[in-house]
A and B are shown apart, each in its own frame.
Chain A
Amino acid sequence: MSTPLIKVSNLSKQYGDLLAVADVSFELPPSGSIGIVGESGSGKTTVAKILVGLERATSGKIEVEGQDWSLPAKNSKERRERAKYLQIVFQDPYSSLDPRQSIGTALREALSISMKDSDEVIVRASELADLVGLPQRILELRPAKLSGGQRQRVAIARALASNPKALILDESVAALDVSIQAQILNLLVDIREQTGIAYILVSHDLAVVRHFADSLIVMKNGNVVERGQTEAVMDQPNHEYTKLLLASVPGPGWVPGKRSI
Chain B
Amino acid sequence: MSIGQIAIGRNRGYRKRLSKLGLLGWLAVFVLFIFGVIAIFGSALAPHDPNKIDLAYSYVGPIPGHPLGFDELGRDLFSRLLVGARTSLIGPIVLVISTTLIGTSIAILAAWRRGWTDAGLSAGVDIAVAFPGLLLAILLSTVFGASLWVAIAALTLAYTPSLARLLRSSALRETGMDYVKALKVLGFSDSQIIFKHLLPNLAPFIIAQAIIMFGYATLDLGGLSFLGIGVQPPTADWGTMVAAGASGLLQGYPTQTLAAGSCLVLTALSFAVIGDRLARIWGVE
Contact = CB atoms under 8 A, between A and B. Distances in A.
Nearest to A122: B1
B251 interface: no
Contact of A158 (B182, B200, B201, B283): B182
Interface in A37-56: 52-54
B33 to A, nearest CB: 28
A99 interface: yes
A176 B6 CA distance: 33
Interface string A102-115: 00010011111100
A158 B186 contact: yes
A137 interface: no
A69 interface: no
Given A95-B177, A96-B178, A100-B282, A118 B184 contact: no
Of the four ranges (under 10, 10 to 19, 20 to 34, 35 or more), the interface on chain A belongs to 35 or more
A73 to B, nearest CB: 8
Of the four ranges (under 10, 10 to 19, 20 to 34, 35 or more), the interface on chain B belongs to 20 to 34
Contacts of B182: 88, 90, 96, 155, 158-159
Contact of A53 (B6, B9, B185): B185
Given A112-B1, A116-B2, A118-B1, A97 B179 contact: yes
Contacts of B200: 100
B178 A87 contact: no
A92 interface: yes
A79 interface: yes
Given A97-B179, A118-B1, A79 B6 contact: no
A217 interface: no
B2 A118 contact: yes
A121 B1 contact: yes
A113 B178 contact: no
Nearest to B197: A98
A108 B1 contact: yes
B131 interface: no
A218 interface: no
B187 A79 contact: yes
Contact of B187 (A91, A158, A162): A162
B181 interface: yes
Chain B contact surface mostly? helix
B42 to A, nearest CB: 39
Nearest to A115: B1
A76 B186 contact: no
A69 to B, nearest CB: 12
Contacts of B192: 76
Given A83-B187, A110-B186, A100 B283 contact: yes
Contacts of A111: 1
B188 A113 contact: yes
Given A96-B178, A116-B2, A121-B1, A83 B283 contact: no
Contact of A162 (B178, B186, B190, B197): B186
Given A100-B282, A118-B1, A53 B186 contact: no
A95 B179 CA distance: 6
A96 B1 contact: no
B201 A95 contact: no
Contacts of B181: 52, 54, 88, 90
Given A53-B184, A54-B185, A98-B201, A90 B1 contact: no
Given A112-B1, A118-B2, A118-B5, A96 B179 contact: yes
B25 to A, nearest CB: 20
A145 interface: no
A231 B52 CA distance: 96
Given A118-B1, A118-B2, A122-B1, A79 B184 contact: yes
Contact of A80 (B2, B187, B282): B187
B178 to A, nearest CB: 4
28 contacts: A52-B185, A53-B185, A76-B189, A79-B184, A79-B189, A82-B187, A83-B186, A88-B182, A88-B185, A90-B178, A95-B178, A96-B178, A96-B179, A96-B182, A98-B197, A98-B201, A99-B283, A100-B200, A100-B282, A111-B1, A112-B6, A116-B2, A118-B5, A121-B1, A122-B1, A142-B283, A159-B185, A162-B187
Interface of A: 52-54, 76, 79-83, 86-88, 90-92, 95-101, 105, 108-113, 116, 118, 121-122, 142, 155, 158-159, 161-162
Given A76-B189, A81-B187, A158-B182, 14 more contacts: A53-B184, A54-B181, A79-B187, A79-B189, A80-B187, A90-B178, A95-B178, A96-B179, A100-B200, A101-B197, A109-B6, A121-B1, A159-B186, A161-B186
